[in-house]
A and B are shown apart, each in its own frame.
Chain A
Amino acid sequence: GQNIDQPTEMTATEGAIVQINCTYQTSGFNGLFWYQQHAGEAPTFLSYNVLDGLEEKGRFSSFLSRSKGYSYLLLKELQMKDSASYLCAAMDSNYQLIWGAGTKLIIKP
Chain B
Amino acid sequence: SQTIHQWPATLVQPVGSPLSLECTVEGTSNPNLYWYRQAAGRGLQLLFYSVGIGQISSEVPQNLSASRPQDRQFILSSKKLLLSDSGFYLCAWSPPTDYSPLHFGNGTRLTVT
A interface residue numbers (CB < 8 A to B): 4, 30-31, 33, 40-45, 48, 50, 87, 89, 91, 95-97, 99-102
The interface residues of chain B lying within 8 Å CB-to-CB of A89 are 44
- Known interface pairs A42-B90, A42-B106, A44-B104. Does A87 touch B43 (Cβ–Cβ under 8 Å)? yes
26 A–B contacts from the bound complex (CB under 8 Å): A4-B43, A30-B98, A30-B99, A33-B101, A33-B102, A40-B109, A41-B106, A42-B90, A42-B106, A42-B107, A43-B44, A43-B104, A45-B101, A48-B101, A50-B99, A87-B43, A87-B44, A95-B98, A95-B99, A97-B102, A99-B43, A99-B44, A100-B43, A101-B41, A101-B43, A102-B43
Q: Tally B residues with Cβ within 8 Å of A.
A: 17
Cβ of A7 to closest chain B Cβ, rounded Å = 13
| Complex-state Cα separation, A81 to B89, whole angstroms | 24
Cβ of A49 to closest chain B Cβ, rounded Å = 11
Q: Which of B102, B106, B109 has the most CB of A within 10 A?
A: B102
Cβ of B76 to closest chain A Cβ, rounded Å = 15
- Known interface pairs A42-B107, A44-B104. Does A96 touch B46 (Cβ–Cβ under 8 Å)? yes
The interface residues of chain B lying within 8 Å CB-to-CB of A44 are 104
Asked if B105 CB lies within 8 Å of chain A CBs, one says yes
Q: Is the CB of A42 within 8 A of B105?
A: yes
The interface residues of chain A lying within 8 Å CB-to-CB of B104 are 42-44
The interface residues of chain A lying within 8 Å CB-to-CB of B43 are 4, 87, 99-102
Cβ of A55 to closest chain B Cβ, rounded Å = 13
Q: Which of A4, A42, A89, A99 has the most CB of B within 10 A?
A: A42
The interface residues of chain B lying within 8 Å CB-to-CB of A102 are 43
Cβ of A94 to closest chain B Cβ, rounded Å = 10
The interface residues of chain A lying within 8 Å CB-to-CB of B98 are 30, 95
The interface residues of chain B lying within 8 Å CB-to-CB of A4 are 43
Closest to B107 in A: A42
